[in-house]
Structure 1
Amino acid sequence: MITSFTLASLPVTRWQNGAGETREIVRVAAADAPFLWRASIATLQADGPFSRFDGVDRVIVLLEGAPLWLRGGNIEHRLEPGVPWAFAGEWPLASEGIVAPGMDFNIMTQRHLASAQVDIATTAQRPEAEGVACVLKGRWQMAGADHHAGGGIWWQEESPGDLVPLTADASLILTTIRRVSGR
């Protein structure tokens, strides 16, 4: 299954903690958890706590907006645009330094069921059998169609084939999902 999306096509829902909103790209079901893996784009409007997700590994990529801080406990990380950062969903993080609205890409995996590898691609790619590709800049040819910033594809059980940059400035968030053996 290969599914295309655009930011405008994604339904808007409130965050688990009520402090913001998200646009879910995909939520893959799991028998013994709320999801196996989930990808979304969130709107950042004000500083505040992140929702806690026990047993979940997360990767965040700032899509739009100025750099900001993610802090909590002994953690202090500067989130820069276009740079993936992985963290545990249990970490008590809050964002600090949001000066204007922005957006981020999030991928979450149930730690005991799957993992996610997130890379920024600028050259042609041939991904594995499960994942998400979200255009950061420029245009990309993916699954037989052109995709622009804020759009992309997600897939399961088959590779979408070659992902090809069509402009010199093209960059892409490429997320590869790997399931834990036997899941």
Structure 2
Amino acid sequence: MVDPVFFRLSDVPAQPWKNGGGLTREVVSWPPGAGVDDFLWRISVARIDADGPFSRFAGIDRVITLLSGPGVLLRGSFAADADAAVNAPADAHALTTPLAPFAFSGDVDIDCALQGGPSEDFNVMSRRGSVNATVAVVEQTGDLPADLPAITHGLVLAVGSEWEVVAADGARHMLPSGAGLWWADSSQTLQVRSRTDTPNSENQIPNAANAGAGASGRTGLIVVAFDMLAPKR
């Protein structure tokens, strides 16, 4: 059991890609010590600096969310989202709207094309048949807090503004932009409230374009929940 762990993206070590096209910050992988072939779920942030292919992850379901930058055009053998990709070719998705999660299979061969410069993306992976992942975004709540459902394995990340997170036991956490909490095997019922409508300049999400999602007018709290499935008999 791991109770909520505070993190700042700026403190997470960045690992450059082998092809030189970007870098990845792995926030957390579960279970501890698991590698690429045996993790159940994994959360990371990637900076994409150049056009090129995505790594293929057979048996893994993925959700990607644009954090900052102009975004990328994803091309692969998945159905096109006509509402999100105006004039995009078939089997493409324009990941150009910040804080709009897009789910796809890791079995798909995908390449990406930058849409005007480097971009930073939030990535969630879950092992198909063992874990179901959901990624949602809570918008500004004003004076009234929002109650999240109980989550046993999950993460919250503040993007573009500061958030107050209060646990059922009364523990209180202040999350500036680019900071969050993750936990595992520990049911958490959280109450969340946005603290400001403007980005926190001291704690912007680190990225090559030097602009957080708040710069586009979109801020929020990313909420990830993992549902651990019972083994099939």
Assess if the C-alpha contact under 8 Å between 2:60 and 2:105 holds in 1.
yes
Matched, 1:104 2:121: yes
Question: 1:18–1:90: structure 2 CA closer, same or farther, 3 Å change rule?
Answer: farther
Q: CA deviation at 1:17?
A: 6.0
Q: 1:91-139, CA deviations, whole angstroms, 9 ceiling, x for partnerless residues?
A: 1111113422220000000012101111110232324222111111211
**Pick aligned residue for 2:106 from 89, 101, 104:** 89
Aligned residue number for residue 158 of structure 1:
187
1:145 Cα offset (Å)? 2.1
Would the alpha carbon gap of residues 100 and 46 (structure 1) be closer, same or farther in structure 2, given more than 3 Å must change? same
Structure 2 residue 30 is the aligned partner of structure 1 residue 34: no
Report the more deviating stretch, 128-137 or 47-56: 128-137
* Counterpart residue number, 1:177: 226
Q: What is the rounded CA distance, in whole Å, between the counterparts of 1:16 and 1:93 in structure 2? A: 17
Runs of 4+ in 1 over 6 A off after TM superposition: none
TM-score, length basis structure 1? 0.90
Aligned residues: 183
**TM-superposed deviation, 1:50:** 0.4
Q: CA deviation at 1:22?
A: 0.5
User: Are 1:125 and 1:164, in contact at CA under 8 Å, matched by a contact in 2?
Assistant: no
**Partner Cα distance (2:174, 2:120) in 1:** 22
5 Å-filtered alignment, 1:72-151, equals 72-73=76-77, 75-79=91-95, 80-122=97-139, 123=141, 124-127=146-149, 128-142=151-165, 144-151=172-179
- Structure 1, 64-73 or 44-53: larger mean CA deviation: 64-73
Sequence identity of aligned pairs in percent?
35
Letter of the aligned partner of 1:45 in structure 2?
Answer: D
> Relative to structure 1, is the Cα distance of residues 17 and 159 closer, same or farther in structure 2, using a 3 angstrom cutoff?
farther
Q: Which amino acid aligns with 2:27?
A: I
Q: CA–CA distance in 2 between the matches of 1:153 and 1:108?
A: 17
Unaligned runs of 5+ in 2: 79-90, 167-171, 199-218
SS at match of 1:34: coil
| Residues 5 and 78 (structure 1), Cα distance of their counterparts in 2 relative to 1, 3 Å cut | same
Larger Rg: 2
Contact 2:72 2:119 in 1 (8 A): no
Separation of aligned partners in 2, 1:17 and 1:112: 31
Distance in 2, Cα, partners of 1:21 & 1:78: 21
